[in-house]
Amino acid sequence: MMSVTVAAPTSSAAGAYLSRSSRRRFTVALRSDVSVTPTRILTNLKHECATPLPLLQQVAKAMSDDMRAGLGLGPGSELGLPMIPTYVENLPTGNEKGLFYALDLGGTNFRVLRVQLGGKDERVIATEFDQVSIPQDLMFATSQELFDFIASGLAKFASKEDGRFHISKGRKREIGFTFSFPVKQTSIDSGILIKWTKGFAVSGTAGRDVVACLNEAMERQRIDMRVSALVNDTVGTLAGAEYWDNDVVAAVILGTGTNACYVEQISAIPKLQGYASSSGKMIISTEWGAFSNSLPLTEFDREMDAASINPGEQIFEKTISGMYLGEIVRRVLLKMTEEGGLFGKSVPQELSTPFILGTPDLCTMQQDCSGDLHAVGSLLYDIAGVESNLSERKTVLEVCETIVKRGGSLAGAGIVGILEKMEEDQRGLIFGNGNRSVVAIDGGLYENYPQYRAYLQSSVKELLGIEKSKNVVIEHTKDGSGIGASLLAASNSIYKQNL
């Protein structure tokens, strides 16, 4: 192969596609041989990614089995899902009152929020939030740098509290801290980071209590607040959704990463043997991103996993969540280009850059209804300097469709696995006549990608069948996790007796 660098044209046909980077220079290599056609690669891909009903049933069953194994004690439990006890035993009642803060660290953005809760009648009186995207270098920083970033964001936000928010004399402001990584909770307000996910590789946090890390950073910033609840984003979402709808039984996040939580009976959690719970229940964070059984994986998934910072881990997450769908498609397109001559003789080197194609890009392309797939052509040109014809654009769309269909369908199977596990243990609870079982879903992938959402919903319907489907409601909850975390801070407040 021979490499040449070309200036992005401004007056050729491709020039019409320029929208994002009109002065970029693209490097292309010239390929001389074709070993396999793009059509052949696409056919194999579709075959390997197919999610027929029997496969989805197998995935749902494997999810239930791995949940059960992970709740167990002793040999075999390590083969199951993490199934993390959250120490959330009671969901918000609606009586919560006062001023509470929430911090949310978990994916692309860091959020701070305050809410004035008014009890049963007034509910949420006022709310305000701030959001910043997490600088890339912070994901590879030291623990102290990361927590200082969080605490200084909090300090800045807290200094702008206006008259709509007020706190009783003598009380500290309390915080619900949403920390969306696998944490071994030791109580409702403490927990040790097991490992980072979603591309974070901050040094010095794994094995430490993340609330202690935050407290130390707050001290450095001279912030006098108290963390009253440490929650996963799924748990915040469940609490926030349940505040408005008592039929919510589970919550799922489908964003940069993925996870699900649900309400479990203490008696069904052997690893909490002897634990006295006030309600007989506890929310379990499944950490289903770690699931890997029965999944239809391809060479592209395996290669992406091998190149990741956590090889062998979070396989379900790497197959269905927003951080990875674009990257899988990029890997397929690269092979089609290098070995199959997609886009003619040139192999755009930009396509060799990991993560250059994001899941939002796939979404943009899939919304293109124009006859010549203009938006697809434009995006391919902007990102990779590729000049494409209609047939090549159609191929690209089919690759997107295949990977997104697999992701959405498998996410649906995971949800059914959870519902079936709950139903098996408490017959009639989920699918019983007249029941309404709500699964609250949040996260940018679910919210913004209509095709993904549709595949998820149709997979749930297909698996449950008409009768059971009548009882199950899949509901989108937007930004419920912040309010949920503050509600949990309220229900675990040190001043609770006075509420």
Residues annotated as catalytic (active site), given as ranges: 198, 233
Query: How many other CB atoms sit within 10 Å of the CB of residue 256?
Result: 22
Is 130:202 a contact under the CB 8 Å cutoff? no
What amino acid is encoded at 350 in this protein? E
* Residue in 189, 359, 192, 181 with CA at minimum distance from that of residue 253: 181
Q: Which is nearer to ligand BGC, 92 or 199 (CB)?
A: 199
* Residue in 266, 318, 262, 270 with CA at minimum distance from that of residue 295: 318
Nearest residue to the partner ligand BGC, using Cβ: 257
CA 158/CA 420 separation, integer angstroms = 44
Q: Which is nearer to ligand BGC, 38 or 182 (CB)?
A: 182
CA 127/CA 164 separation, integer angstroms = 9
- From 67-75, 130-138, 249-257, 469-477, give the range in contact with ligand BGC by CB under 6 A: 249-257
* Minimum distance of ligand BGC from residue 235's CB (angstroms): 8
Is 257:12 a contact under the CB 8 Å cutoff? no
- From 46-54, 209-217, 227-235, 405-413, give the range in contact with ligand BGC by CB under 6 A: 227-235
CA 379/CA 242 separation, integer angstroms = 40
- From 6-14, 109-117, 257-265, 373-381, give the range in contact with ligand BGC by CB under 6 A: 257-265
> Helix 38-49 to helix 390-425 angle, to the nearest 10 degrees?
10
* Minimum distance of ligand BGC from residue 261's CB (angstroms): 8
- From 49-57, 256-264, 302-310, 451-459, give the range in contact with ligand BGC by CB under 6 A: 256-264
For the chain, first and last CA: distance in Å? Answer: 72
Q: DSSP class of residue 86?
A: -
Site string for ligand BGC, 77-106 (x = CB under 6 A): -----------------------------x
Residue 292 binds ligand BGC, judged by CB under 6 A: no
Is 468:88 a contact under the CB 8 Å cutoff? no
Residue 317 binds ligand BGC, judged by CB under 6 A: yes
Q: Which is nearer to ligand BGC, 235 or 351 (CB)?
A: 235
Is 236:188 a contact under the CB 8 Å cutoff? no
Q: Which is nearer to ligand BGC, 259 or 359 (CB)?
A: 259
Q: Which is nearer to ligand BGC, 196 or 495 (CB)?
A: 196
Beta bridge partners of 183: 193
CA quadruple 187, 192, 198, 204: dihedral positive or negative? positive
- From 6-14, 70-78, 140-148, 175-183, give the range in contact with ligand BGC by CB under 6 A: 175-183
Residue 107 binds ligand BGC, judged by CB under 6 A: yes
Note the maximum CA span of the chain. Answer: 77
Residue 258 binds ligand BGC, judged by CB under 6 A: yes
Among 182, 348, 408, 480, binds ligand BGC (CB under 6 A): 182
Among 234, 286, 298, 378, binds ligand BGC (CB under 6 A): 234
List residues near ligand BGC by CB under 6 A: 106-107, 180-182, 197-198, 232-234, 253, 255, 257-259, 287, 289, 317
